[in-house]
């Protein structure tokens, strides 16, 4: 099917990577006469590697909105066009409204985001809503509105 919109996002916040990359360094300490505990070294390298693998994929085609947050979702999930009631491109507060980034559950619904504070809130016909963080939130909203008219 013809793809109207596609975006892949990763965690790119510089402050997050400073914290994550400090784990391997801390795993080798304290620097005294004690031998290195290789369990801590393994964990210290595994945590940044895991964050490097995280990726949010969002795609829109005539069938609907397809999303996957790897490695939590091994396959893509679909919201069919007829299940979408309303689309809202917006600026939001990730920490205050959803408790941060990632797959989040807040008072305002569910959110999938990796960085930034722009996104598209998709209101579903079942009364629920899902926010998708996006660096191209206006293009995503436009593509979703286009498939609802078909």
pLDDT band at 89 (very low <50, low <70, confident <90, very high): very high
Q: Return the pLDDT at 13.
A: 75
pLDDT band at 33 (very low <50, low <70, confident <90, very high): low
Residue with tokens 């609907």: 64
Q: Return the pLDDT at 114.
A: 94
pTM reported for the whole predicted model: 0.83
pLDDT at 83 over 90: yes
Q: Span 16-30, mean pLDDT?
A: 79
Q: Which residue has the higher pLDDT, 131 or 30?
A: 131
DSSP letter at 35? P
């Amino acid at each position: 099917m013809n793809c109207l919109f596609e975006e892949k996002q990763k965690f790119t916040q510089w402050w997050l990577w400073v914290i994550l990359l400090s784990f391997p360094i801390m795993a080798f300490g304290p620097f005294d006469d004690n031998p290195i505990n290789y369990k801590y070294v393994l964990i210290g390298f595994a945590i940044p590697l895991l964050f490097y693998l995280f990726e949010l994929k969002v795609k829109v085609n005539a069938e609907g909105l397809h999303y996957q947050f790897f490695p939590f979702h091994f396959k893509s999930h679909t919201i069919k066009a007829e299940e979408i009631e309303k689309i809202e491109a917006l600026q939001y507060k990730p920490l205050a409204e959803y408790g941060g980034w990632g797959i989040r559950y807040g008072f305002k619904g569910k959110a999938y985001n990796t960085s930034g504070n722009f996104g598209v809130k998709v209101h579903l016909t079942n009364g629920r809503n899902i926010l998708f963080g996006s660096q191209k939130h206006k293009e995503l909203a436009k593509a979703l509105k286009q498939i609802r008219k078909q």
